[in-house]
Structures are given as C-alpha cells and as structure tokens.
Structure 1
Amino acid sequence: MSTLQLKLNAGRGRPLRLDDDPITIGRHPDNRLRISDDMASRHHCIIEPLGGGKFRLRDLGSRNGTKLNGNKVGESMLQPGDVIQIGKLEMLVEERQNDVIARVQDGDGEADGPTLQSRPSKKAEERAPWIDELTSIINAFAVTGVDDENLKIIDADGKPSDALGGTGPGPRSMRLLLRVASRTRATDIHCEPKGEGMNIRMRVDGQMVWITELPNDVGERMLGLVKNACQMKSAARDAVQDGHFSCRFPDRRVEYRVSVTPSVHGQKMVVRILDQRGVPTSLSDLGLVGYMHERIRAVTMQDSGLLLVCGPTGSGKTTTLYNALREIDRDTRNVITIEDPVEYQLEGVTQMPIDEKKGNTFNTLLRSVLRQDPDVILLGEVRDEETARTAMQAAMTGHLVFSTVHSKDSISAVFRLLDLRVEPYLVANALNLVLAQRLVRTLCDACKQSVTVTPGQANKIGRFLGTKTQICAPVGCTKCIKTGYRGRHALFELLDFNDELRDVVLRNPSIQAMRKIIDQGLFTTLQQFGYRLVSDGVTSMEEVDRVAGSS
C-alpha cells in the first residue's frame, strides 16, 4: 500500500512523509511542521491520519484560513495532486514513489521482500527512490550531444581510481551525484547524516536546494569511496579531514575539494566543486555596463594604481580580478598573484598560495613579492592594517595592484580601509577604482511568467520601466529544480576616484560628503543595476531586493 508525502511547491526542502502521527502546522515551535510565514496562525491546521492510507486536512480556526487547491476549507480529504496553501507557502500532496522499497530501506514496516539487514536485490536498487530522483534531475538538464555517463576519478595522488567502476549502490550514488552537480552547475555538494538517512543538498546558483535522501548504508558506502579517493583515513570517523580529488568528464577535468567533519549522527561531508565550464573568461563576458568596462580596462593599461573589488564571499570577486588580469600583456609584464587558495591556474602568471602554518601570510608574501621585480600584483584579500598599508604603498611606487575587501558597497570599502587605520593620504592617493558586486539568480526561461507591476514596485523601478507595465516573476519547473531560477548575473557598482573625492577623504570623510560628489557624475548603485535587469526580464524584484536591498 502506497502512502502520501508533502513536498514544497518551490521544490526546496526534504519531502515530509505522511504517517500514523498527526502533522500539526503553524508558527508555534510545538508544531511538527513549523512555518515562519506571518500569514499563518500559531496553530494553523492539522493533517490527521484516518487509517488505510487516508488523510484529512482540518483548519484549526486560523485567522487567514487554509486553502486546498485555491479554495478555503474547514476540513477535507487529501488526494495526490492536491495543493495546500498557507499564506505564501504552497505544499504539494503526492504519492511517495516506490514506497514499499523506501520503507524497507528506512527500516519501517514488515516486509515480504528483503529486510533491512539483507542486501536488496538489483531490481529493488534500480527502483530505489533516490535513483529515480537523481535520474529525473539529470534528464531534466539533458544537453544534446553531451555524454557524461563514463566518468573517471583521479585520486589525490593523481592516479586513476576505480571508485566509479562498480555497479553497487555506493559507486552508483557517487556517479549520479557528480552528474547531477555537473548538469545543474552546482558549486557545493552537502551530504548530511540525519539518523534515518543521509540528506543530499546542493548549492545551485548560490542557494541550497534539496536533492534527495540516501539510505544510511548507501550514504556510508559513497562517503567511503570519496574518502578513499582523497587518500583520507577511512577509520578516523571522529576526526576532521580535508582532501581533494578530480573527475575526468568527456570534455573537461573537474577538481573537487572535500571536507569531512564529525556530527551527532555521523560524518558530514561537503564537496566544493571547481568547474571552469561556463566561467567568464574576459571582461566583456562579465555583463558590465559600457562605461564600467572601459574604465576598468583603462586601469589595467596603467603602470601603477589600485583596483579594489568588494563584496561578500561567493560574489564573484576573484573571477572579476582574473578577467582583469587577462587584459594585461603577460608576455611583457611580470604578473604575480597571492591567493588563499589558488583556485584556477592562469598561464603566464606566477601564483603563490597562502600557508599560514609555514608563515606565508598575505603580508609576508607581499613583502617578498615586492623584491621579485613585479609589474602587476593580485592580492587575494586585504585583511589587516599591515597588508593594506603595504599594498597601497606598492600602488604608489610604480606597481599595479588588484585586491579585494569585504564590504557591502563601494563607499563602505573606503571606510573599511580607514577603519584598518590606513592613513587617509594613502587611501586617497592609491585608489583608482572601487568595484562593488553581487550575484543575482536569473529567471528560468522555461517557466518565468509576466506579472503586472504593483504600485509599490512602480515606486522603486518606475524610472527603469519606461512604458512597460509588466515584469517577470519565478514559477518553478523541472528544468530549474522547481526554484524558478537558472544561472546567475552580476550586479556592479563602480566608484571612480577623482580629485574631488580625494579631497573629501583627505579632509573629513563622511558618507554624505562622498555621496554629494558621486551624484554629480556617472554612478549606478547595485540596486539600480539590478532594477535595470528586472525591467529587461532577466531577474525578479524579490531577487534584487534580497541581494542588494540594503546597499
């Protein structure tokens, strides 16, 4: 007998199986399913088991009501395909695939087939829910003419490994996960033990997306294969371990960095994916506005100066700086980078990794590099006073310096340097450009829909819409893992240092004083850049407000 499960219509989060225990839903912490929507009541509704695989949805006197398939209900029987709506939250009622096999693997119920301790038949493995879920994602992201079934693992020693060569559930799950990550262009794979199974989530377009749940035995085998490829100690279950391996696809080689950490329910593994496919390879590929592109390119032609890129982790700062380096004639200039870590190799560039255990910090390596006759220096990050001061002195003494700093926008980057106790005259005279950036998800072309602009939205983006009355919003389909988004686009904000700005920094710098000078010239904020993308149907209002709303 099959059972039902609840799944978020947005496609994110692990499905919740409907079982013999009632499921209470609401904002109160005591609810079995707690939601944070302000439209929901503290005790909103309940899903009650009636036996025989039947379930009833009952409203608990909520102030905004419980909707089933768009209609408010007091109580109603649930069927596969029903959509429960509470405020903005929508949940799909669906039949759990191959439920008999799932119950055997999870240890539920008595079995006419294999028990938990016995090895499932090959037929049962082929029909396991996790295989169906992973295969469906691979098929949804299929690319014509691309065959990624035959993968080869290269271990940490650079030798071929047979980790993917077997037909058992361990090699099969690892092979499917690598293919899903490749197809969806995920940047990280999270394998999280939860007692009853191992949850698999991936970071796709900067957001965590639930992918599937592996049975514990399958998850353990897959984890063992990865640890073996990384040359980790398989028996050290309570130790923090780091490693790496690579995988050879038919068209490229992909590097993976692995971190294994003990947790309450077992070992959690996070795999960072370093795939250069689809990464911009020139300034013109970044999506810069014309004047920004020309100004950055002009700085790369100079003999000295400082280009500072700011933004949070994962906002694409390193990619931007690498593409700025590609504008430089590396045959006639000595280019050196100091990075933590070196992620991608650039031809014609000397790249140095940070190793604090050996005393190779940003500052010590920077001082050493200055004795290496450099023309151009890429400094991975300005973290402290000494590094900041040394970098700026280098920019003022005939070197072209590229670096990054963590700040929310271009103006804040200036004050970040001043907070590091760098002298105002160094900041004012060394800086040429400050580029702030963020990454927003782009709408899925297969499912995005046009919506009418609300009065509140019109107040924000009216100047960018012109005569348009509609913008695009996310929906969600199989081609975007139900997120409504596929791919990312950068937002940029360029602060060009001129004499007036230098005077402000030298005298008594304040945000108001800098804004007054900036507004007299050509300046676009991160939010304004995003609203232009909204008007062009590239992304949504919600996405721009999420990423750049406070900038």
Structure 2
Amino acid sequence: MPTFLLKPVGGIDAPPATLGDRPIAIGRHPDNDIPIRDDLASRFHCVIEPCDGGFRVRDLGSRNGTKVNEERVEVAVLKPGDVVAVGGHAFRVVAKGAASGGRAPKPRPADPARTNGGRARAPGASSAGRPSGGAPPWAKELASVIRNLPPKEEREERVRLIDADGRESAALSGEGAGALAARMILLAASKSHATDIHIEPRGEHTRVRVRSDGQMVTLTQMPPGVGERVLALFRTACQLKTAPRDAVLDGHFSARFTSRRVDYRASFTPSVHGQKLVLRVLDLRDAPTSLFEIGMPRYMVDRVRKTVHKNQGMMLVCGPTGSGKTTTLYQGLREIDRERRNVVTIEDPVEYRLEGVTQIPADLDRGNTFGALLRSVLRQDPDVIFVGEIRDEETAQVAMQAAMTGHLVFSTVHAKDTMGAVFRLLDLNVERHLVANALDLVLAQRLVRRLCDSCKRPVRVTPGQAMRLGRYLNGADQIYAATGCARCLRTGYRGRKALFELLSFNDELRDAVLNNPTIATMKKIIEQDLFTTLLQSGLQMVARGETSLDEVERVVG
C-alpha cells in the first residue's frame, strides 16, 4: 500500500496526517482523528479509509457534504493531488516524498471512473466501477446491494411483472440487459425499503436512485442504452407503449416477489436529457397495522383510542409532507368498528385500500376538491369522515361544522407543531368557537431515521450535548453516531421512527381559544398536563441510542 499524507491547505496551521491501515475520521467532535473547529462541518463529517490497496473518502451523512476537487461525493477513491473539502477546511492528498517543497499539483475535477457520483457504493463492486468478471459495472453494484440486504431468499430472477390490467407479463423474463436491470432495480428498491425509485437520464449515463428512509441514495449509473430499455419496459407495463416520449404520463403496474406483491405508481416526465421516471412504491409490508406499531407511547394510544370511539369531534394531525400523517390516521380508522359505522374518506390520491371503507379520490381538474367532495359526503349519511388535508377556508369551515353536528372528522394540516395547527385553523378564518368546541385532539409528528444496528458507534457526550440532553441521559456518558455499512447503503441509518407531540383539548384550552389566544397563554396551560414536545421525544430517542443527535436536530432542532 502506498504511503500518502493528508496535508491541510489554505493557510491552516496543522501537521500532515499519515494515511495508513487505520481509518481517519474528520469532523467537529473531539473524538475525531482530525477534529476541526468549523460550523460548516458536521460532528462526524467524513472518514478516509483504506480501500483496494489505496484510500477512499466516505461522507458520513454530513449536512453540507464532502467534496473532492470541488465535486460533492458520497464515496470517492483518492489519488495524490486530490483536495478534500470538509466544511471550510481543505486537505490535499500527497505522496509522502512530496509532502514538503515543490509546487502543489493543480486540483482536477473528480474522475467519474473512481467516484460513485454521490451513491452508496456496495461492497464487492470495484472502486473504479469496473467489473472484476464478465458482468457490467451497474449489474455488479446492484447485485452487491441485493446480496447485502435481507431477505436472502429474494432473487432477481424470481421477480415477475404484472401489467396495468393485472395480467402477468413476460417483459422482465428475458435475459437482455434491460430486463435484467429492471428486475434488479425493483428488487434492490424492495430490499432497501425504498418509497420511491428515480430513473434519470443524465446525458452520458442514466442514474438510478431510491428514496430510502426519506433520503435520496444513488444505487448505480448505467449506459443510456440500458436506461432507455428499462424505461421502455416500464412504459409497456403501464400500457403506455404507444404514447409520445415527450409527454407527461402517469400509469401503474405491479411486481410479484417470492413472498408478496408490490404495486407501483409511475410518473413519466420529459427532461433535457430524455424522459425521467419516478416510481412510487406502494408496499403494504412496510405499513404498520396498529397504533403501537407506529411507535406511539402508551398514554398517547389511550387518548387517541378514546377520541376515535366518540360520536363527534375532530382529530387533527399536523406535520410536513412525508411525515406519516396519513399513516397515523389510517391506524385510527382501523380502531373503528367499520361494520357498525359508515366510514368515508376523501384522499388525494387513494394509495392504500381500507376494508369496509368508502374511499373517494379528489380530482382538482374536475372540480372535485376536498371542500366540494366534503359537502357531497355529508349527504351520504356518514358517521366518520377522513379528509385528506385541510388546505383552504372552505374545507376548514365545512370540516369543523361537520365535527360539531354529529360526525367524527379526521384530517391533516401543514403546521410546525400542535399549537401551530390551532393557529393555522384560525388563520383560515375558522370561527374561534368552532375551533374551541370541535377539536378534541391535535397530534404533531415527524419521522427520524434510526441508527443502523450493524454499524452505529458510541461517542463520548460533550458538555454542550450533556446540557442539551439533560435528564434524559440518566447519568450516561455516551450516545451513538452514524457510521455507514453495506446493510444501510452506507448512510448509517436503517429504518425510521415517528416522533409525536400530542395536544388534548380540555376546558382551559377551550376557554383560551375563545378569548383571543396567544402562544404564551396556551403554553402555560399545556405545561400543566402530560405534554412532550417533538424535540423532547427526539432527545429521548438519542439517549436510548436509537438515533443520533445530528438527525434529531436536522428534523426538529
């Protein structure tokens, strides 16, 4: 193995570090091998480690990313002359004999042949992206992802396509590159529990990315010809094969794996380099089946159950897009006796089917808005109404009035926290007496990534962290941080868990809302009850070693 040095550049007064058999971690935390005082850097920013007789830099999920020769990367093989940027600091890789004297080589753009273009390179693929055997590089990278993720019995050759009419298709059963790539992409996405698959023409290559645990991760890059064949196969599965390629198209199909069937919603959109495809993965395997499965504390479950068994009132869930609001409300609907009560939902779109429930899709193009459909549903003798989102004054007014006139109403709203949801309704010009008397329970939630159990590492708690975590540490002197391995696609995280904040309305809160409420007034009342904020819920997870402090601060800090 060659001997390289990592030399600070840009006037930074620090000795060079020798790259050897042991990884070198860089970041703000004092436990790093190279601790730096830099607000632009993360606590554990990146690591430089041995790889295939040389060295590579690997980003550890930092906020601002790691750059090699001014190009942001997740993993990149290093050569002499490369400049690694960490926040506002920069380090040059030099051969040991060139550590002093002479003119430093001019930084060059990161070589695509030895970087992963921002993807989580799977073990087994060569660091240069070239095959060690007869398979093409993209096939090796996808195969490595599939091999390293459970369940082991799932194999790409067993993936079967089901077209939009529900008939099994032979489109993926061929041995051509397009069919092989399509099968491997679907299986890799399934094993990584991805919610979306992105197939993106980029000119010289087609990039394949998935959204796993809410974050985009690149799986591989393939030649444009292979990418086009993959897109053609999925267009055929959606029965869009005769449609023009510069059109905006929507479709759907399914795939059958060894043990289950997965549905996909397809969106084709023209881009500068060709048609881009995004597949929304509708996998019931990942859907929780009870309030306990979504991670809700016992006392919150009891309060939610008390609310969903009422004859009238409103339960409101708030949070940003993708925070699991609809999933939580679905679990509330499952608590209801749907044989004895008429349950109607208005959704945009209807993604999952609920047994015993009338589900109505909103269609804005045809005038079937949430507000218009809600007025129609009220003439359908409903007991329970689920409105996908309160986004305008009409929907808010009708929903609140319904909750006051013998209906149990579930809905969502975009707000930062539970108190913000109350003020959001007031901003939509809902009368204060409706808000005060209709609302029974407001739930705020976020999704945070869980640390990968295979690679998370303990770190010593700093004085600042100890003050932030406070009593939740319970005397412990360490928490856990992300590292990255093959089982988590090098992200350091695997799976997500919900954080909750629950506001249960009582007489004092109702009086406060009726009398021109302020945040200070409501906080004073809330603090007298069993109330945990989103941030407090997150800090408890950090203290239990379930997630990192960086992740909690990213989501709710």
Corresponding position: 1:469 with 2:477: yes
- When residues 196 and 63 of structure 1 are mapped into structure 2, their CA distance, relative to the original with a 3 A threshold, is closer
Structure 2 CA distance for aligned equivalents of residues 544 and 395 of structure 1: 35
Corresponding position: 1:396 with 2:396: no
Corresponding position: 1:185 with 2:196: no
For 1:372, give the aligned amino acid: Q
SS of match in other structure, 1:530: helix
Structure 2 CA distance for aligned equivalents of residues 262 and 516 of structure 1: 53
Structure 1 CA distance for aligned equivalents of residues 362 and 206 of structure 2: 34
Corresponding position: 1:332 with 2:332: no
Corresponding position: 1:431 with 2:439: yes
Corresponding position: 1:9 with 2:34: no
- When residues 73 and 192 of structure 1 are mapped into structure 2, their CA distance, relative to the original with a 3 A threshold, is farther
For 1:367, give the aligned amino acid: R
Q: Which runs of 5+ in 1 are unaligned?
A: 14-23, 37-46, 48-53, 85-91, 102-122
SS of match in other structure, 1:539: coil
- When residues 174 and 144 of structure 1 are mapped into structure 2, their CA distance, relative to the original with a 3 A threshold, is closer
Structure 1 equivalent of residue 330 of structure 2: 322
Q: List aligned pairs for 1:145-544, cutoff 5 A.
A: 145-146=153-154, 149-234=157-242, 236-544=244-552
Deviation at 1:357, TM superposition (A): 2.8
For 1:472, give the aligned amino acid: Y
Deviation at 1:358, TM superposition (A): 2.9
- When residues 63 and 524 of structure 1 are mapped into structure 2, their CA distance, relative to the original with a 3 A threshold, is closer
Q: Is the 8 A contact 2:60 2:483 kept in 1?
A: no
Q: Is the 8 A contact 1:310 1:413 kept in 2?
A: yes
- What TM-score do you get using the length of structure 1 for normalisation? 0.81
Structure 1 CA distance for aligned equivalents of residues 232 and 427 of structure 2: 47
- When residues 397 and 434 of structure 1 are mapped into structure 2, their CA distance, relative to the original with a 3 A threshold, is same
Corresponding position: 1:66 with 2:91: yes
Deviation at 1:234, TM superposition (A): 4.6
Q: Is the 8 A contact 1:240 1:262 kept in 2?
A: yes
Deviations 1:211-241 (A, max 9, x none): 1001000000000010111111455121111
Deviation at 1:94, TM superposition (A): 7.1
Deviation at 1:422, TM superposition (A): 0.7
Structure 2 CA distance for aligned equivalents of residues 199 and 148 of structure 1: 20
- When residues 312 and 7 of structure 1 are mapped into structure 2, their CA distance, relative to the original with a 3 A threshold, is farther
For 1:239, give the aligned amino acid: A
SS of match in other structure, 2:158: coil
Structure 2 CA distance for aligned equivalents of residues 218 and 430 of structure 1: 56
- When residues 4 and 98 of structure 1 are mapped into structure 2, their CA distance, relative to the original with a 3 A threshold, is farther
Structure 2 equivalent of residue 33 of structure 1: 71
For 1:292, give the aligned amino acid: M
Deviation at 1:98, TM superposition (A): 2.4
Q: Which runs of 5+ in 2 are unaligned?
A: 1-51, 108-113, 116-122
Aligned length: 481
Q: Is the 8 A contact 2:82 2:92 kept in 1?
A: no
Structure 1 CA distance for aligned equivalents of residues 149 and 93 of structure 2: 31
Q: What is the aligned-residue RMSD (CA, Å)?
A: 3.2
Q: Is the 8 A contact 1:305 1:395 kept in 2?
A: yes
- When residues 336 and 8 of structure 1 are mapped into structure 2, their CA distance, relative to the original with a 3 A threshold, is farther
Q: Is the 8 A contact 1:12 1:209 kept in 2?
A: no
Structure 2 equivalent of residue 98 of structure 1: 130
- What TM-score do you get using the length of structure 2 for normalisation? 0.81
Deviation at 1:5, TM superposition (A): 11
Identify the range of structure 1 (391-400 vs 350-359) with the bigger mean alpha-carbon deviation.
350-359
Q: Is the 8 A contact 1:66 1:73 kept in 2?
A: no
Deviations 1:464-515 (A, max 9, x none): 0111111111110001010000000000000111111111111111111111
For 1:217, give the aligned amino acid: G
Deviations 1:305-325 (A, max 9, x none): 100000111111111001001
Taking every aligned residue pair, what percent have the same amino acid on both sides?
A: 56
Deviation at 1:542, TM superposition (A): 0.5
For 1:488, give the aligned amino acid: R
Identify the range of structure 1 (537-546 vs 347-356) with the bigger mean alpha-carbon deviation.
347-356
- When residues 339 and 8 of structure 1 are mapped into structure 2, their CA distance, relative to the original with a 3 A threshold, is farther
Structure 2 CA distance for aligned equivalents of residues 384 and 347 of structure 1: 29
- When residues 11 and 244 of structure 1 are mapped into structure 2, their CA distance, relative to the original with a 3 A threshold, is farther
- When residues 299 and 34 of structure 1 are mapped into structure 2, their CA distance, relative to the original with a 3 A threshold, is closer
Deviations 1:31-55 (A, max 9, x none): 652699xxxxxxxxxx8xxxxxx75
Deviation at 1:64, TM superposition (A): 4.7
- When residues 300 and 68 of structure 1 are mapped into structure 2, their CA distance, relative to the original with a 3 A threshold, is same
Q: Is the 8 A contact 2:61 2:492 kept in 1?
A: no
Structure 2 equivalent of residue 110 of structure 1: none
SS of match in other structure, 2:285: coil
Q: Is the 8 A contact 1:363 1:387 kept in 2?
A: yes
Deviations 1:290-331 (A, max 9, x none): 211110010011111100000111111111001001111111
Structure 1 CA distance for aligned equivalents of residues 287 and 199 of structure 2: 25
- When residues 488 and 63 of structure 1 are mapped into structure 2, their CA distance, relative to the original with a 3 A threshold, is closer
Structure 2 CA distance for aligned equivalents of residues 190 and 275 of structure 1: 16
Q: Is the 8 A contact 1:11 1:481 kept in 2?
A: no
For 1:96, give the aligned amino acid: A
Structure 1 CA distance for aligned equivalents of residues 535 and 382 of structure 2: 37
Structure 1 equivalent of residue 119 of structure 2: none
Identify the range of structure 1 (477-486 vs 286-295) with the bigger mean alpha-carbon deviation.
286-295
- When residues 6 and 416 of structure 1 are mapped into structure 2, their CA distance, relative to the original with a 3 A threshold, is farther
Deviations 1:334-385 (A, max 9, x none): 1111111111111111111112233322112111111111111111111111
- When residues 8 and 277 of structure 1 are mapped into structure 2, their CA distance, relative to the original with a 3 A threshold, is farther
